[in-house]
Amino acid sequence: MSEEFSDAELEAFLEEALDPVRAAEIEQQARTNTSLLKRLALLNRRRDHGAHSLAAIWRRFQVGVPTREEMGQYLLGILESDHADYINFRLEILKCPFTQSLLAELKAANDQAQLKRAKACRDSLYQSGTQIMSRNPKNG
């Protein structure tokens, strides 16, 4: 039954801003449910004619999505607890794809930076070791 999906969810689906699991449910039902297809078509026509819900405007302009700086502080665990709770809400409850994407991007960048630091440290230790070995005539 298409009534189990709210208009806000369907609008988010049309904007590709819905949680992937829920989007898959809508897509699955839309294949066989003509009532759901009609609702999607109606919402799409409204959107094309300039009628936007408040939720659609928030999604489109990414209102409330944390900045890179805020998300960095969140990852470091130094963000104020209220603000960290809000980011958790966006990630876990809203499943905001923009917030999730930003978090994944920053985690990947952090992982890359850690790998570079580890390689630089390993190279430095190797270089130091070879210099020490070359100065000590007993090692040859």
Residue 69's SS3 state is helix
Cα distance between residue 9 and residue 6, in whole Å: 5
pTM: 0.52
Whether residues 110 and 85 fall in one domain:
yes
Q: Are residues 1 and 32 in the same domain?
A: yes
**Residue 131 belongs to domain spanning:** 64-140
pLDDT exceeds cutoff 70 at 110: yes
Given 39, 63, 87, which residue is the final one in a domain?
A: 63
Look at the chain and count its residues: 140
Q: What is the pLDDT of residues 49-83, one digit of tens each?
A: 666 666 666 766 677 889 999 999 999 999 999 99
Q: Do 29 and 79 lie in a common domain?
A: no
Asked whether residue 44 falls in the same domain as residue 89, the answer is: no
| H or E stretch covering 68 | helix 68-76
Are 114 and 83 found together in one domain?
yes
- Please tell me the predicted confidence (pLDDT) of residue 13: 87
Q: What is the pLDDT of residues 123-132, one digit of tens each?
A: 777 787 777 7
Could you give the maximum distance between any two Cα atoms of the chain, in Å? 86
Report for 10-14, 28-32, 44-48, 107-111: range of highest mean pLDDT: 28-32
Instruction: Based on the fold, state whether residues 32 and 76 are members of the same structural domain.
Output: no
Do 30 and 96 belong together in one domain?
A: no
CA angle 100, 105, 110 (to 5 degrees): 125
* Total tally of structural domains belonging to the chain: 2
- Distance separating alpha carbons of residues 65 and 47, to the nearest angstrom: 22
